[in-house]
């Protein structure tokens, strides 16, 4: 038999060896065993690792403590599974309290075998609280998603060795599969992404030349310092800040890109971005987020310093305040640049919404109300269908907007909105909600502290509108008739009763408005947005039809495309031509 003269073909092993080198981990202490046999020869073959052998795992871990304390560098300890790995605990506790960067790599037979009396297979999913700063269990790699997950977990684990003072970390390394053979025929390590973390005391990396953009997720209202820092950064690097209604940024370089991002046509403003700076939390504007996935690399800036690989292109994490980051990349004395901004504004400001042709719908309501909201008012947007629609329209600059984008659940929209109204009693607050979300939180309307400063727009289309879009897989594969009873939950709450909400609202002291078509809406919506706080809170219920809602959304997503072909363009964009053709075959085979 030939001697080992290469790396294991196991991609987990290759990524771990490669990233250990990238992160400066070169000392390895190995104890005997078989479950870690796939990685040890890789250390030997590479030649850049300083290797030691110790039979006793307890002693090996203590040896690593002494080595890490003396050198100030991370040390890896590697062993097989079962009680061998348990013997690391005494020294790992020592490392935990002394913040010593010890990386424990332990082999494992099969995660699924835990608890089934398999030989040597013990449950290591949990450890005592004062042992490891972080534990990760690498997935058995079967597809690209597993490769991505493993890459993130390894990077996260290795970065944790030195984070916040440092400490021990555990990586569980599984065999490839039940038929895995120790195959060491790989002569080179696979290319894998290295993620680095920077803090206030680090020397920050150079910003590459090229096209720079910022993506602002949900964010608290920008402070003056934050806004000035972002403006100066964009001016220096000819960058823009792509924003949605929950981004909180009002500066010069803001680009409200949702409508452009929703178009079937792909605009160049989203293409060829060399570095995307990602700030904020989960985004309301999913369309822009999807377009920006083509960026070459992403830098994440957040005080939490966590690995948030939202775009799956993350290379650098900056654990610091945003204004500190942007100030460090500002170029003093240079001429302000705004050609990218002008290019973006030329696109977004020239997309003419076809208001005159829109059917009566949530879209039509947004087209009439969004730009006319009273100055300095606040608007809360319901999730799913509502926020997708209203994100395509701009609000006046002084209007603040909010939404429960943290989890995007439908269950607390009304209560969150009312809580905001209690904290801002002197301001006018609006809420836009679909019927499922409204009725889910209906009891909140009976709160005795509700003031006259609230206005609620209820869009009642008799079920979950999101599932009935032309591009929705539920709509395409199942059809509206079959998805209505359960997926879209149609027919509940009086099945679009014209009296249910009216009677409830008026009994609670609300002024009730309603409309079922464009003419009725046009005659009353100005009352709904009157800028003065009236003597009663308002509830404006509009009744729409799912087919008309679908048509309106198709029109909004294909502004540069003839209306008759809008639905085809939307479906093709979201699903791809092959899937559209497959769906056509299925539909034609079963009939209408």
Nearest residue to 512 (alpha-carbon basis) of 586, 455, 566, 584: 455
Which tens digits make up the pLDDT trace of 46-86? 999 999 999 999 999 999 999 999 999 999 999 988 778 88
Whether residue 452 sits in one domain with residue 361:
yes
Statement to judge: residues 339 and 402 lie in one domain = no
Q: In this predicted structure, what is the pLDDT of residue 5?
A: 83
**Quick check: 182 pLDDT over 50?**
yes
Does residue 1 belong to any structural domain of this protein?
no
**How many Cα atoms are found within 13 Å in the side-chain-facing hemisphere of 256?**
19
How far, rounded to the nearest angstrom, does the alpha carbon of residue 146 sit from its chain's CA centroid? 18
Distance CA 580, CA 558 (A): 17
For 525, the 3-state DSSP assignment is helix
CATH number of residue 164's parent domain: 3.40.50.970
Per-residue pLDDT at 2: 54
- As a whole number of angstroms, the distance between CA 244 and CA 222 comes to 14
CB 575 within 8 A of CB 471: yes
Tens digits of per-residue pLDDT, 134-166? 999 999 999 999 999 999 999 999 999 999 999
204 domain-assigned: no
In a domain, 196, yes or no: no
Domain boundary among 315, 348, 381: 348
With contact defined as beta carbons under 8 Å apart, do 393 and 418 qualify? no
> Do 107 and 226 sit in the same domain of this protein?
no
> How far is CA 304 from each of CA 187, 199, 280, 407, 490, rounded to the nearest angstrom?
39, 11, 11, 18, 41
8 Å CB contact between 153 and 14 = no
Residue 249 neighbours by CB under 8 Å, 6+ apart: 216, 219, 222, 227, 230, 241, 243
One domain, residues 493 and 454? yes
Distance CA 294, CA 316 (A): 17
CA distance 135 to 160: 10
The residue range of the domain holding 506 is 355-585
CA distance 488 to 434: 12
More confident residue, 477 or 293: 293
Same-domain check for residues 336 and 359: no
Mean pLDDT of 429-455: 95
Read off the tokens for 76: 């890896």
Give DSSP secondary structure letters for 310-343.
TTS-EEEEE-S-HHHHHHHT--TTPPP--HHHHH
521 or 471, which is more confident?
Answer: 521
Contact 121/92 with Cβ under 8 angstroms? no
pLDDT for the residue numbered 573 = 44
Q: Is residue 3 part of a domain?
A: no
pLDDT in tens, 315-373: 999 999 999 999 999 887 788 899 999 999 999 999 999 999 999 999 999 999 999 99
Instruction: Identify the band that residue 177 occupies on the pLDDT scale cut at 50, 70 and 90.
Output: low
**Contact (CB, 8 A) for 241 and 230:** yes
Q: Which residues lie below 8 Å from residue 131, measured CB to CB, with a gap of 6+? A: 89, 92, 93, 96, 168, 170
Q: Are residues 401 and 285 in the same domain?
A: no
**More confident call, 124 vs 16:** 16
Counting beta carbons within 10 angstroms of the beta carbon of residue 581, is it exposed (0 to 12), middle (13 to 18) or buried (19 or more)?
Answer: exposed
Residue 429 lies in a domain: yes
The answer to whether 487 and 572 have CB atoms below 8 angstroms apart is no
CA angle 447, 448, 451 (to 5 degrees): 95
Helical ranges in 180-238 per DSSP H: 224-237
| Residue 201 resides in a domain | no
pLDDT band with cut points at 50, 70 and 90 for residue 487: confident
Tell the burial category of 386 from Cβ atoms under 10 Å away from its Cβ (0-12, 13-18, 19+). buried
pTM: 0.88
Query: What whole-number distance in Å separates Cα of residue 254 and Cα of residue 243?
Result: 6
Residues 465 and 362 in one domain: yes
Number of domains in the chain: 3
232: left (phi over 0), alpha (psi -120 to 50) or beta: alpha
Helices 57-71 + 89-98 axis angle, to 10: 20
Count of CB atoms situated within 10 Å of the CB of 354: 13
pLDDT band with cut points at 50, 70 and 90 for residue 581? low
- 430, 445: one domain: yes
HSE-CB for 224 with a 13 A CA cutoff: 0
> Is 50 exceeded by the pLDDT of residue 563?
no
User: Using an 8 Å Cβ cutoff, are 401 and 371 in contact?
Assistant: no
Return the H-helix or E-strand segment holding 64.
Answer: helix 57-71
Q: Do 543 and 410 share a structural domain?
A: yes
DSSP labels for 531-570? Answer: SS--SS-EEEEEE--HHHHHHHHHHHH-TTS-GGGHHHHH
Give residue-wise pLDDT tens across range 269-324.
Answer: 999 999 999 999 998 788 999 999 999 999 999 999 999 999 999 999 999 999 99
Among residues 321, 348, 375, the one where a domain terminates is 348
Question: What are 206's two structure tokens?
Answer: 């150079």
57 found inside a domain: yes
**Are 404 and 508 members of one domain?**
yes
pLDDT tens digits along 225-246: 999 999 999 999 999 999 999 9
Statement to judge: residues 376 and 337 lie in one domain: no
Triad 412, 413, 416: Cα angle to 5°: 80
For residue 312, the domain's CATH number is 3.40.50.1220
* SS3 call for 87: coil
What percent of the residues of the chain are helix, what percent strand, and what percent coil, each to the nearest 5?
A: 40, 15, 45
pLDDT value of position 249? 95
307 in any annotated domain? yes
In whole angstroms, what separates CA 523 from the centre of its chain?
Answer: 40
In a shared domain, residues 248 and 297: yes
Examine the fold and report which residue of 326, 348, 370 is the final residue of a domain before the chain moves on: 348
CA 9 from centroid of its chain's CA atoms: 32
**Closest C-alpha among 45, 91, 39 to residue 68:** 91
């Amino acid at each position: 038999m030939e001697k080992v003269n290469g790396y294991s073909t196991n991609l987990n092993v290759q990524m771990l060896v490669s990233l250990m080198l990238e992160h400066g981990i070169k000392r390895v202490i190995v104890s005997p065993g078989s479950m870690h046999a796939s990685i040890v020869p890789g250390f030997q073959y590479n030649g850049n690792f300083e290797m030691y052998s110790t039979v006793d795992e307890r002693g090996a871990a203590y040896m690593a403590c002494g080595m890490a304390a003396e050198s100030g560098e991370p040390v890896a300890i590697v062993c097989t599974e079962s009680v061998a790995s348990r013997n690391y605990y005494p020294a790992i506790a020592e490392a935990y309290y002394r913040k010593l960067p010890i990386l424990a790599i332990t082999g494992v037979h099969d995660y699924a075998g835990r608890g089934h009396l398999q030989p040597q297979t013990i449950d290591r999913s949990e450890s005592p609280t004062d042992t490891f700063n972080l534990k990760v269990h690498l997935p058995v790699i079967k597809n690209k998603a597993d490769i991505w997950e493993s890459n993130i977990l390894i990077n996260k684990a290795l970065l944790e060795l030195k984070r916040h003072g440092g400490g021990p970390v555990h990586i569980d390394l599984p065999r490839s599969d039940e038929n895995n053979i120790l195959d060491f025929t790989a002569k080179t390590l696979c290319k894998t992404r290295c993620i680095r973390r920077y803090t206030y005391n680090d020397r920050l990396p150079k910003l590459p030349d090229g096209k720079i953009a910022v993506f602002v997720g949900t964010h608290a209202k920008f402070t003056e310092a934050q806004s000035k820092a972002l403006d100066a950064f964009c001016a220096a690097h000819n960058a823009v800040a792509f924003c949605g209604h929950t981004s909180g940024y009002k500066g010069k370089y803001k680009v409200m890109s949702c409508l452009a991002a929703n178009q079937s046509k792909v605009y160049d403003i989203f293409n060829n971005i060399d570095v995307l700076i990602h700030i904020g939390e989960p985004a309301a504007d999913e369309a822009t987020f999807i377009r920006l996935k083509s960026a070459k690399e992403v830098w994440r800036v957040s005080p939490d310093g966590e690995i948030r690989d939202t775009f799956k292109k993350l290379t650098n994490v900056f654990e610091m305040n945003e204004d500190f980051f942007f100030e460090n990349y500002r170029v003093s004395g240079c001429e302000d640049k705004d050609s990218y901004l002008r290019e973006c504004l030329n696109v977004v400001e020239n997309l003419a919404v076809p208001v005159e042709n829109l059917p009566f719908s949530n879209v039509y309501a947004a087209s009439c109300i969004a730009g006319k909201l009273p100055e300095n008012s606040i608007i809360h947007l319901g999730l799913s269908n509502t926020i997708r629609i209203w994100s395509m329209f701009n609000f006046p600059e002084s209007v603040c907007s909010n939404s429960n984008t943290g989890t995007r659940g439908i269950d607390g929209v009304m209560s969150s909105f009312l809580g905001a109204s209690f904290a801002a009693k002197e301001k006018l607050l609006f809420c836009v909600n679909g019927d499922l979300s409204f009725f889910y939180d209906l009891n909140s309307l009976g709160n005795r502290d509700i003031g006259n400063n609230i206005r609620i727009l209820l869009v009642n289309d008799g079920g979950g509108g999101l599932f009935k879009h032309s591009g929705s897989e539920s709509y395409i594969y199942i059809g509206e008739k079959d998805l209505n009873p359960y997926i879209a939950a149609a027919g509940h709450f009086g099945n679009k009763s014209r009296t249910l909400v009216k009677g409830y609202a008026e009994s609670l002291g609300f002024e009730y408005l309603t409309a079922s078509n464009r003419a009725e809406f046009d005659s009353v919506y100005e009352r709904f947005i009157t800028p003065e706080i009236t003597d009663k809170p308002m509830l404006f219920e509009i009744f729409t039809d799912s087919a008309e809602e679908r048509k309106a959304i198709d029109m909004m997503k294909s502004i540069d495309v003839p209306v008759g072909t809008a639905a085809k363009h939307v479906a093709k964009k979201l699903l791809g031509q092959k899937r559209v053709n497959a769906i056509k075959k299925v539909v034609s085979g079963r009939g209408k």
